Amino acid sequence: MGLIYKNLEVITNDGYKIETWFFPAQSPLSEGELRDLNGNRRTYETQDETKRPTIIVCNGDAGNMSYFQLYLAKSWTSRGFNVVTFDWRGFGKSSPFAMDRNYLCYTEMLEDYRAVVRTTSEQEEVLNGAIAVVGWSTGAYLSMITAYTDDLVNAFVGRSLPTDFDDFIPLVMKYKNKTRNELLVPEDFPTELMPVHIAPEFGKPLFLIVGENDFRTPVWMSRKIIESVPGTTPKELMIVENAAHGGKEDPILIAFDDFIKRTSDFLMANLRPLHGKQPSATE
């Protein structure tokens, strides 16, 4: 794709390296420019010295940061955002970490996220008070928890967001033919911070997207969360026709251009520093 990026040195409090890429806002290359590049990495440079809003994109419970995230990075950076992608511990070039595939998530992922947010906020290209986090499925609730608990995060975009494990796990058992022992939650995971529980106090801009045919995280879950946040919280719900949970039926994939436009417009309208204002303690 010929995107300009740099590696960030991210180390968690418990000593794990988190492989992280930082893509500054940039104009996409023409087909001719891309051919001339011939697969070589571009020299890191920014368009100017302007500090810009930044979007941090996380994976779900698996996957690599250099797959679908690159298309998101290309699209959002062309609209004036910096974009950050990273791999959880145990994935890609991040530090090794033993994982049991029967666990839905690991509590340590929240520490990975915290470390990425901290390092991102320290970059000179980043506008203070204008950091958004984006995630899908597992990454969606990890992102909302991070947005809720971290003052450096100022907005949240989530795809296929579950309300909590009590609602979510039975549906996965039913539609994915899983047993309860294949859908474990760590004992130390802060389940009290799952989306439906923190929604009534969630004061940061919130954009949710869900497929109309999603049976694992149905539309009613996103509606419940949207309806539970305070009335003063900027919020938007995007329901995509003929879309389900993920894969080829991923609502972002099916409605990609519309998703990019709507999320870009939403963040530009609701990140307070872009309008000469400072975020409050709850924003």
Provide the residue range defining the domain that includes 186: 6-275
C-alpha–C-alpha distance, residues 91 and 113, integer Å? 14
The residue among 236 and 34 whose pLDDT is bigger is 236
Q: Tell me the average pLDDT of the chain.
A: 94
Angle at 111 between CA 105 and CA 117, to 5 degrees: 115
pLDDT band at 282 (very low <50, low <70, confident <90, very high): very low
Tell me, yes or no, whether 26 lies in a domain.
yes
Looking at the chain, the whole-number percentage of residues with pLDDT higher than 90 is 85
CB 190 within 8 A of CB 165: no
| Digit-coded pLDDT (tens) for 137-191 | 999 999 999 999 999 999 999 999 999 999 999 999 999 899 999 999 999 999 9
For residue 32, is it within any domain?
yes
Assess if residue 281 is contained within a domain. no
Q: What is the pLDDT of residue 62?
A: 60
21, 7 Cβ separation under 8 angstroms: yes
Q: Give pLDDT, residue 48.
A: 95
Q: What is the number of domains present in the chain?
A: 1
pLDDT of residue 225: 99
Strands (E) in 79-234, as ranges, are 82-86, 126-136, 155-159, 206-211
Residue 280 lies in a domain: no
Share of the chain above pLDDT 70, in %: 96
Does some domain include residue 282? no
Mean per-residue pLDDT, 212-216: 97
Residue at token pair 């250099």: 66
Indicate whether 29 belongs to any domain: yes
Q: What is the pLDDT of residue 233?
A: 97
Q: Is residue 283 part of a domain?
A: no
CATH code at 102? 3.40.50.1820
SS3 157: strand
